[in-house]
Amino acid sequence: MRPCNTCETERNYAVAQPASILLVDDEQDIIKLMEIYFANEGYRILKANDGMQALKLLETEVIDLIILDVMMPNMDGIEACMKIREQQKMPIIMLSAKSTDIDKITGLSIGADDYVTKPFNPLELVARAKSQLRRYHTFNDGRESREYEWVIDDLVINTDTHEVWVDEKAVHLTPREFAVLELLARHQGSVLSMEQIYRQVWKEEFMESNNTVMVHIRKLREKIEPDSKHPKFIQTVWGVGYKMIKPQ
């Protein structure tokens, strides 16, 4: 049986490109402000100055969310939103200096998912974007290879590409850590003993003194849990084993 101390020498598994957000506004100061806040959260940022540029980018880029200003030259946000909705269904957040109810209703009726008025709080805009991305991945097809994805609250596990996100941020796991996480995700709500996990992941006989599974669970919690001391996703069932929460 392979010594336990070799488990931690495995190469880190490079995973998950961050979600891509397209910022569309003709005001460069606003673009720069949004870019700073979203880049700080780890998102991949693309930029366009008007609706026409945005549509061209959508022909070649995979976009997860669009923040789209209403008043722009060449093609405004209303027309751009309608054209985007003819083929795409990623979340769209409209930005506008207009704050009347009719303006908001117009934006939402043409296919926007949210409407934010200028001036806005950048932190609120980021929070709204995160909420839209979570909802999109949970209730729609979301990213490519969706059939290979497990969505558990704000944890996303792609078993096809071995990508993991927590709150839309990429998480880097070793191959063994990913295998343990995938096993638990496939048995959401069921308790798996350390022996079951070890046999399934390491394909070897389990010894009572072997703490390999415990070590990997601890490292997983440090990487995916908001608070590893009070785990949200991977729960301990004392005297039995571990289980992944099952969304209600």
The residue-averaged pLDDT of 16-44 equals 89
**pLDDT beyond 70 at 3:** no
Model confidence at 86, in pLDDT bands (50, 70, 90)? confident
Task: Determine the CATH number of domain 20-141.
Answer: 3.40.50.2300
Residue 167 neighbours by CB under 8 Å, 6+ apart? 130, 154
**pLDDT beyond 50 at 10:** no
> Pick from 82, 141, 73: which is nearest to 107 by CA?
82
Instruction: Give pLDDT tens digits for 142-199.
Output: 444 345 678 888 888 888 788 898 987 889 999 999 999 999 988 888 889 999 999 8
> Pick from 152, 37, 23: which is nearest to 92 by CA?
23
Question: What percentage of residues in the chain have a pLDDT greater than 90?
Answer: 46
Residue 30 has phi, psi (to 5 degrees) of -70, -40
Sign of CA dihedral 80, 85, 89, 94: positive
Half-sphere exposure of 100 toward its Cβ, with a 13 Å CA cutoff? 3
Specify whether the CB–CB gap between 153 and 165 falls below 8 A: no
Specify whether the CB–CB gap between 217 and 234 falls below 8 A: yes
Residue spans per domain, the chain: 20-141, 149-244
Rounded to whole angstroms, the Cα distance separating 242 from 165 reads 21
DSSP state of 18: P
Residue 61 has phi, psi (to 5 degrees) of -115, 150
Give the model's pLDDT for residue 141: 46
Specify whether the CB–CB gap between 60 and 36 falls below 8 A: no
Instruction: Give pLDDT tens digits for 96-110.
Output: 887 667 777 877 888
Give the model's pLDDT for residue 123: 94
**pLDDT beyond 80 at 15:** no
Give the model's pLDDT for residue 69: 93
- Using DSSP's 3-state secondary structure scheme, residue 96 falls into strand
Task: Determine the CATH number of domain 149-244.
Answer: 1.10.10.10
